């Protein structure tokens, strides 16, 4: 095998590979939407077929209680390491549709960017894995130079509620020394990065109830608890004026960032004024005593994601609502655990519920523990070397304010560390209207996957 052979092949396949991505992006595989359950399954079948086309000898649909995953294995030599490539083919809802310049599931290429829901998160990076492995295998006598496994899931965007069981049911296929997650990004167009930490995730819904029905506001509005008003009062108790979470015990297990941590975070360029300008803001908000970067990368958060109750229609309806609801998610840092955080919030809600109301806390189906990378990992070092080679500059070390539930599950079940190796860019609109993915990053990502396989071969 020579690098020239497979890189030339990838060059020749550029248009065909872009066309494949456009085909995949046309599938509205929204995992949270029950009306699209069949589409998620159809997308799993498409991914399975594409792995088989690449030559992967063992591929199967791994069913779950909700949406399936796709698992595969290409065993070549017990003396070689085994890398498990991870990704997901489910996507976020596209709403509000009116904010999209072009339809979210009709991919459009404009100015070198592919606009579609799921383009950056993360169907583009998923395909770089399959296409990169395929090219290297073709140039290497029909098989990759190391053992390769795959697990692409259909539930990541809803918190991976069945992912642990899928792994347990398919250990013989997915067992590996290290996991490479294609669900990732780079620091900037000309600045590669390696992610060294992800936050965990805890979620819940608060249901508050007052009277046994909505009531006439003229007859009852000055007398009985208004559920919407009561919930707003309750929501206001979660933070103080400086942005610090007021749930008792929330910070008890948090280890503050060290001076070395702060220095490492500060090495990544951050222009606060430009940041505000890009977002149309006049000021930032958050826990006092920490920089915006430190809060994003290394401090836990409690976010109010949605609040509703009462009359939502056009015009006026003079009622005193009897029910209101609040959705909360928390991004957690090392040594915080989702179940414990939910229970602390439950206690806080019960303590601060306004008089005359009853409250219920319902944990979300998905959760995730925080994850920190082992920087001595062989694949982590190899990934850094390849990124430096492709970009002509050393990668910066970053932390993620987001969550990949699979990372902690891989560590717990497979005892395998996860290395992030994805290609989305900052501001690419993941989870937002007009999501995009640069074509050049997509094409370079295939080469990066191939080079990583070469670098790891013994």
Residues 323-381 pLDDT 10s: 999 999 999 999 999 999 999 999 999 999 999 999 999 999 878 899 999 999 999 99
pLDDT (tens digit per residue) in 113-135: 999 999 999 999 999 999 999 99
What pLDDT score does 365 carry?
Answer: 80
Q: What is the mean pLDDT of residues 227-256?
A: 97
pLDDT band, residue 269 (cuts 50/70/90) = confident
What distances in angstroms separate CA 248 from CA 39, 205, 254, 351, one per listed residue? 43, 18, 13, 11
What pLDDT score does 366 carry?
Answer: 76
Length of the chain: 458
- DSSP collapsed to 3 states, 91-111: ECCCCCHHHCCCCCCCCEEEC
**Strand boundaries in 236-332, DSSP class E:** 301-309, 319-320, 323-332
pLDDT (tens digit per residue) in 59-106: 999 999 999 999 999 999 999 999 999 999 999 999 999 999 999 999
Separation CA 379–CA 456 (nearest Å)? 7
Residue ranges, CATH 3.30.70.360, the chain: 200-254+300-363
Residue ranges, CATH 3.40.630.10, the chain: 3-198+370-456
The neighbour count for residue 164, using CB atoms within 10 Å, is 16
pLDDT band, residue 268 (cuts 50/70/90) = confident
Mean pLDDT of the chain: 96
CATH class (in words) of the domain with range 3-198+370-456? alpha beta
Distance of CA 152 to the CA centre of its chain: 13
How big is the CA angle at 385 (ends 142 and 422), to the nearest 5 degrees? 70
CATH class (in words) of the domain with range 200-254+300-363? alpha beta
């Amino acid at each position: 095998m020579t690098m020239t052979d497979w890189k030339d092949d990838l060059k020749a396949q550029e248009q065909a590979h872009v066309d494949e991505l456009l085909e995949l992006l046309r599938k509205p595989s929204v995992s949270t939407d029950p009306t699209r359950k069949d589409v998620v399954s159809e997308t799993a079948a498409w991914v399975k077929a594409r792995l088989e086309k690449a030559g992967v000898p063992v591929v199967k649909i791994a069913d779950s209680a909700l949406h399936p995953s796709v698992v595969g294995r290409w065993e070549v030599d017990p003396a070689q390491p085994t890398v498990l490539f991870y990704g997901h083919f489910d996507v976020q809802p596209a709403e509000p549709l009116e904010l999209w310049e072009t339809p979210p599931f009709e991919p459009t290429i404009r100015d070198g960017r592919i606009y579609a829901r799921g383009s950056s998160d993360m169907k583009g990076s998923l395909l770089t894995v399959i296409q990169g492995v395929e090219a290297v295998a073709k140039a290497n006598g029909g098989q990759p130079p190391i053992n390769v496994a795959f697990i692409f899931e259909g539930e990541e965007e809803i918190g991976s509620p069945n992912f642990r069981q899928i792994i347990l049911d398919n250990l013989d296929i997915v067992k590996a020394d290290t996991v490479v997650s294609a669900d990732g990004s780079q620091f900037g167009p000309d600045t590669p990065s390696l992610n060294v930490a992800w936050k965990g995730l805890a979620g819940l819904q608060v249901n508050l109830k007052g009277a046994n029905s909505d009531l006439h506001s003229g007859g009852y509005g000055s007398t009985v608890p208004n559920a919407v008003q009561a919930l707003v009062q309750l929501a206001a108790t979660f933070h103080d004026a400086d942005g610090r979470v007021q749930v008792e015990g929330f910070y008890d297990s948090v280890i503050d960032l060290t001076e070395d941590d702060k220095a490492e975070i500060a090495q990544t360029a951050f222009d606060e004024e430009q940041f505000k300008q890009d977002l149309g803001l006049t000021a930032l908000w958050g826990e006092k005593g920490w920089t915006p970067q430190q809060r994003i990368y290394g401090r836990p958060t409690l976010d109010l994601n949605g609040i509703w109750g009462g009359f939502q229609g056009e015009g006026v309806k003079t009622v005193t609502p009897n029910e209101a609801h609040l959705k909360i998610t928390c991004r957690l840092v090392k040594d915080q655990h989702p179940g414990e955080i939910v229970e602390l919030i439950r206690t806080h809600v019960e303590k601060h519920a306004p008089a005359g109301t009853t409250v219920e806390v319902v944990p979300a189906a998905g959760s995730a523990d925080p994850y920190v990378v082992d920087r001595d990992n062989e694949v982590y070092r190899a990934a850094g070397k390849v990124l430096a080679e492709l970009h002509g500059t050393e990668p910066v070390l970053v932390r993620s304010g987001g969550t990949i539930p699979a990372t902690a599950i891989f560590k717990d079940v497979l005892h395998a560390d996860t290395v992030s190796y994805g290609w989305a860019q900052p501001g690419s609109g993941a989870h937002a209207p007009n999501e995009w993915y640069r074509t050049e990053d997509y094409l370079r990502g295939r080469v990066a996957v191939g080079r990583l396989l070469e670098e790891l071969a013994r």
